Amino acid sequence: MLRRLARDLKNDFGPDRLFELVAVLDRHHPSFRMDRYAHAKQFKRANRMFKKLRTYLGRVIRDIGRKIEVNGVLEVAFAKLLALARRVHGQQQHQSGPKVYSLHAPEVECIGKGKAHRPYEFGLL
């Protein structure tokens, strides 16, 4: 959405200023704001941005589902990605069982090592 806005405003700012505009818009994205709030120990604000991101993910999942339901080829192509997105959208912080820690490698698990300096490691068993 922000990149589309930047493309629309490209004519006003010129192509050489496009990257600067995109950088400014990306800084206000909820994921960056959530990280900044959490770093500053403003956890209520960070949780509000997290809820906004979850809402965005749910909207995208539903929108893609509506658009591909008429085409069987697209349903097959998007099946794995949509299943992973639904799994991420539905998981809770303290849930038992498998969680998704990485979208690029969903098979990664959390391994508790029991050591003080590095108690957890992420990888395959």
Residues 78-99: tens digit of each pLDDT: 899 999 999 999 998 888 888 9
| 103 in the same domain as 42 | no
Strand partners for 98: none
Question: Residue 40's pLDDT band (boundaries 50, 70, 90)?
Answer: very high
| 81 in the same domain as 110 | no
Per-residue pLDDT at 18 exceeds 90: no
Per-residue pLDDT at 4 exceeds 80: no
Instruction: Answer whether 0.75 is exceeded by the pTM.
Output: no
C-alpha torsion sign, points 33, 35, 36, 38: positive
| 100 in the same domain as 79 | no
Number of domains in the chain: 2
State the residue range of the domain holding 118: 95-125
| 83 in the same domain as 59 | yes
- Which amino acid, one-letter code, is at 110? C
